[in-house]
């Protein structure tokens, strides 16, 4: 059994009431730090990291994070139980609060590695992976999946899939309420075109009351998230809306979803980012690596366009520092405070 660093018991389970989805090229450590300033409680996920990259490639830099990000989960991609178990242990040793197995990504690159959404066709292998990972670590091992793929009938395959992973020891699952079409649709189209089936996810909660079930897909507001929670689901995972409108989704998450803390002011958040930006640049980073995640902070608010333009134009220059961010804030703050 695992005997390395152990995360706070139950911390991720509680935080999963609301989570930000793992999103490739988006939810990196800079993005997660910003999101943590907006919400102390919401569960944050890494981008998907492949087990081979960690186990065979030694790419431990992919696991770097700031301690302030907790509770934070590592999402792994893979299909070999032994390799996933080794990767899970590496992630747990790094201090992650949860290890999540990706069974939902439909991209060609992921399919060629026989993992992601294609694993929906092999629930027995998923169960073997979950069991091996669970034996390797003392943090939660969870699964993120689709309701089915290609010609599968979700009302038949999803219950069987959940039964297999539950038997293997998985107690928490996030269900993207769309099918994935592995041929004919791009990953982007797979996020929009297959119809959502929220009713099926709610039915799975009724059929598997002992499973912690979160819903993912198409949720764009805290009002919608609250409605799903009030209807009996254990959690809601929000993706693109949390990234493009982080203030709308996260600044009131603690008060509305977790019944704690206070709402966060995006103007104050920008100023709180200054020390983080200074450290990042001092360590050889560039401003735009952080500010690209901040473009939506004022979405829907007065001055949002001026904010985006100032950051987009100023942050890419050599030597750009936090003054660019603060000058952009000068354009939006007087309007936002009216």
- Collect all residues with Cβ–Cβ distance below 8 Å to 218 and sequence separation of at least 6: 177, 178, 196
Q: Crossing angle for the helix pair 123-136 and 154-167, nearest 10 degrees?
A: 30
d(CA 198, CA 177): 6
CA separation, residue 62 to residues 27, 48, 91, 209 (Å)? 12, 10, 10, 35
**Could you give the CA distance from residue 145 to residue 154 in angstroms, rounded to a whole number?**
12
Q: Which two tokens stand for residue 149?
A: 């793929």
Helix residue ranges, H only, 114-232: 123-136, 154-167, 187-190, 198-207, 222-230
237 vs 329: CA distance, rounded Å: 30
With beta carbons less than 8 A apart as the criterion, state whether 55 and 85 touch: no
The question of whether 105 is a catalytic residue gets the answer yes
User: What would the two tokens of residue 224 be?
Assistant: 């919608």
Q: Which of 103, 105, 129, 145 is catalytic?
A: 105
Helix axes 154-167, 198-207, angle to 10 degrees: 40
The β-bridge relationship of strands 235-238 and 212-216 is parallel
CA distance 330 to 307: 9
What positions carry a catalytic annotation? 105
């Amino acid at each position: 059994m695992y005997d390395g660093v152990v995360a706070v018991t139950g911390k991720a389970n509680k935080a999963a009431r609301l989570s930000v989805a793992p999103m490739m090229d988006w939810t990196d450590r800079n993005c997660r730090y910003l999101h943590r300033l907006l919400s102390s409680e919401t569960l944050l996920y890494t981008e998907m990291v492949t087990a081979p990259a960690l186990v065979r490639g030694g790419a431990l830099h992919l696991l770097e994070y700031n301690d302030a990000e907790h509770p934070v989960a590592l999402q792994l991609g893979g299909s070999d139980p032994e390799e996933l178990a080794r990767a899970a242990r590496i992630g747990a040793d790094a201090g992650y609060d949860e290890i999540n197995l990706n069974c939902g990504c439909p991209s060609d690159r992921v399919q060629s590695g026989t993992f992601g959404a294609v694993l929906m066709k092999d629930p027995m292998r998923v169960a073997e992976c979950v069991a091996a990972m669970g034996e390797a670590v003392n943090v939660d091992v969870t699964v993120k999946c689709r309701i089915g793929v290609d010609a599968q009938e979700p009302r038949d395959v999803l219950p069987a899939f959940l039964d297999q992973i539950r038997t293997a020891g998985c107690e928490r699952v996030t269900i993207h309420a769309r099918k994935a079409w592995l041929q004919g649709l791009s990953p982007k189209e797979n996020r929009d075109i297959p119809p959502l089936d929220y009713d099926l996810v709610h039915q799975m909660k009724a059929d598997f009351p002992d499973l912690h079930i979160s819903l993912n897909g198409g949720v764009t507001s805290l009002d919608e998230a609250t409605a799903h929670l009030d209807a009996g689901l254990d959690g809601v995972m929000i993706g693109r809306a949390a990234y493009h409108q982080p203030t709308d989704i996260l600044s009131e998450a603690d008060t509305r979803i977790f019944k704690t803390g206070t709402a966060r002011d995006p103007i104050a958040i920008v100023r709180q980012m200054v020390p983080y930006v200074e450290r990042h640049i001092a360590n050889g980073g560039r401003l735009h690596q952080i500010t690209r995640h901040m473009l939506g902070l004022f979405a829907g608010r007065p001055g949002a366009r001026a904010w985006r333009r100032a950051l987009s134009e100023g942050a890419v220059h050599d030597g750009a520092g936090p003054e660019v961010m603060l000058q952009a804030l000068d354009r939006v703050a007087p309007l936002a405070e009216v």
